[in-house]
Structure 1
């Protein structure tokens, strides 16, 4: 039977968490969950009324079968003798009311695991993406994604032993890593999935779901509110970014298509995050303010680029990432074009060239897009076309590649 994408998104983390508790292993939990969902998809329509319970039951029996083949039949005989239709308890451990997806995310964001591997593990066990999908989303070879996933699981097993959701104090300590991981999921979705066709393959929506759960857990934390603001505002502005399968530059985006309800909610979050920041704003409070400036502008021309430059300067001080450096240079390029500052434009292009040469792949690609855009806006048509042609070799299939093709005749 075809599994409804919304049902899958809800059921996957519940099944993984339940099976991880049963098998005492996150690796085995997601392995047997994947097998159970595959079997569920092969069932006739109407055969399954409780997807979570059915998959947990099948996953547990698959695990028991594996143990039986390991010559431990005698030890698990009482469990194997349970009736086939016995009810399955998939409720959390006593006293544990943490959302299933959030619980798995706190497990995946263990500080014993390298940051890049945390994101891969989260996308696998929290979102249910395949290794191939993860590699495509992150722009890395499939073998690299698989190796990171294997290392993450091995590191987690060595560092923590049996599967367990961290307690309140440990979760608080992991919160900065969790926020960064959710932001990474959102960035992946916004960068590569301008028009996601499948709800089960939309990391941006997954990120918003996790941000909502985080706000429920930490309602007064300005950084948590800031992250939800970023997710809400980004998703609110996603409609209108594509026309006839081609991504649109900022000047041509159809702002009337924006989700006004989500936009208002995101602006409220951004305001609350700023208001609750006692001193120097953090990364996500500043990112929320930046998104708020874009969301509040009636057009690209009416955008407060000067304010954006100030906010990016502040963001660069607290989070000096290559992505922020590129975004800041894009804003400065806008100011240079509107403020008649040609020498500044030369310097901006030199800095972008440096990121193309030495930055990580995602930053190099974005810097190349920025250079092509500046060339196009300053009348250097042939240079712009050449840059867009080069980008056709690195931008994956989709609206963004069609945008490059549009300006690379």
Structure 2
């Protein structure tokens, strides 16, 4: 687990459990509540950071309070009020600071009543570039470090830091309101929101940070928000598809790491998969198939449905998986989609055919590309080349469980 910096965001320092563990779990909820209340991201982050410092000072002696989330929210709110008063900001912000004492009913919050989901939609305002929307929401809602977000985007950390800073400045400079989008505005925001939830989930499912290789707090938060979004937009099939995909992927979590090492899909104990999540996910996929309006997340959900439907790895219908990726390539011709398609082609047409496809992809900085090439070389008996690719994969891999797996596979080469 990572630590946190003085501005309330996570840092790369050592963890001081249980305070920092609780803070990270509560971070998204805390920031969302503070932004809704005070209307300023910087104030929210600073107040959250000060609340963490106070918790680190008090909790080791007094003990963790019964409701640590409420304690952090109250403490951070008080710090924000102190700052507003101290800096003598404009009267409108003084009024915002007094909200904790205001007994009058709040104005209606619109179609979205969850603070965190409301902030996601706010950060996904059309005035922001798509990359900035996702990065800022991951920073504020997922509690991810700039380094973690940069890894998810396959860009340099400095580039991502500048992107987040510009996004926050844009919100302030353009006076983008912290309000719930009207129902008719939801469709134009949904694409970026779905991308945010997937990236939060992916960071939890194969974490790039120090500590646990799988972070159930992030996967659980992504699923929770996806459920809320699905309830709000039950007719949006891509929202349905994303929820189905997350559920089916999460169903395999318990079998994915053993003794600190990543267990690939074909080696997992399928008896350890969560059948309730699989049943729910399959039902959602059937809803998407019945609607017959395919999209990216629906297709990815269908791929996961094929895998979770097979009683064993040998029973996997790879022709169906390949056909689904063929369809996805037409909708999303990205190199990562092509890489995943090549894995299915290797099962159908052999590793040599797949390797020719993988070699054409511009993914030399992506560890999964090297790991895939290593596996294909291994299957072709080209051990020296496989060893080089395992080394390259290890050089750009951060997940501890995946590092353990790649190290073992490299050591098995003859």
TM-score, normalised on structure 2? Answer: 0.83
Distance in 2 of aligned mates of 1:75 and 1:309? 58
Q: CA, structure 1 residues 4+307, in 2 after alignment: closer, same or farther (shift >3 Å)?
A: same
Distance in 2 of aligned mates of 1:111 and 1:378? 48
Name the structure 1 match of 2:13. none
Distance in 2 of aligned mates of 1:79 and 1:289? 47
Q: Comparing 380-389 with 392-401, which one deviates more in the overlay?
A: 380-389
Name the structure 1 match of 2:207. 192
2:231 to 216, 227, 244: 216
Q: Comparing 245-254 with 159-168, which one deviates more in the overlay?
A: 159-168
Distance in 2 of aligned mates of 1:249 and 1:49? 40
Name the structure 1 match of 2:331. 318
Name the structure 1 match of 2:5. none
Aligned-residue offset at 1:315:
0.9
Q: CA, structure 1 residues 63+139, in 2 after alignment: closer, same or farther (shift >3 Å)?
A: same
Is 2:289 aligned against 1:281? no
Is 2:120 aligned against 1:120? no
Aligned-residue offset at 1:193:
6.3
Query: Cα deviations across residues 363-382 of structure 1 (Å, max 9, x unaligned)?
Result: xx322221111122222233
Question: Is the Cα–Cα contact under 8 Å of residues 32 and 141 in structure 2 kept in the other structure?
Answer: no
Aligned-residue offset at 1:160:
3.8
Q: CA, structure 1 residues 245+153, in 2 after alignment: closer, same or farther (shift >3 Å)?
A: same
Name the structure 2 match of 1:381. 383
Write the mapping of 1:92-111 to structure 2, written as runs, cut at 5 A. 93-96=107-110, 97-111=112-126
Q: CA, structure 1 residues 19+231, in 2 after alignment: closer, same or farther (shift >3 Å)?
A: same
Is 2:33 aligned against 1:31? no
Name the structure 2 match of 1:341. none
Gap regions ≥5 residues in structure 1: 338-344
Distance in 1 of aligned mates of 2:96 and 2:198? 42
Name the structure 1 match of 2:401. 399
- For the residue of structure 1 that corresponds to 2:320, the secondary structure is helix
- For the residue of structure 2 that corresponds to 1:129, the secondary structure is coil
Is 2:347 aligned against 1:334? yes
Question: Is the Cα–Cα contact under 8 Å of residues 328 and 337 in structure 2 kept in the other structure?
Answer: yes
Distance in 2 of aligned mates of 1:75 and 1:92? 16
Gap regions ≥5 residues in structure 2: 1-16
Is 2:78 aligned against 1:67? no
TM-score, normalised on structure 1? Answer: 0.83
1:350 to 351, 356, 359: 356
- For the residue of structure 1 that corresponds to 2:333, the secondary structure is coil
Question: Is the Cα–Cα contact under 8 Å of residues 206 and 213 in structure 2 kept in the other structure?
Answer: no
Is 2:245 aligned against 1:230? yes
Distance in 1 of aligned mates of 2:138 and 2:178? 18
1:182 to 164, 175, 197: 197
Q: CA, structure 1 residues 254+196, in 2 after alignment: closer, same or farther (shift >3 Å)?
A: farther
Aligned-residue offset at 1:190:
3.0
Name the structure 1 match of 2:171. 156
Q: CA, structure 1 residues 78+318, in 2 after alignment: closer, same or farther (shift >3 Å)?
A: closer
- For the residue of structure 1 that corresponds to 2:181, the secondary structure is coil
Name the structure 1 match of 2:34. 19
Q: CA RMSD in A?
A: 3.3
Q: Comparing 71-80 with 287-296, which one deviates more in the overlay?
A: 71-80
Q: CA, structure 1 residues 296+111, in 2 after alignment: closer, same or farther (shift >3 Å)?
A: same
Distance in 1 of aligned mates of 2:152 and 2:233? 29
Aligned-residue offset at 1:198:
9.0
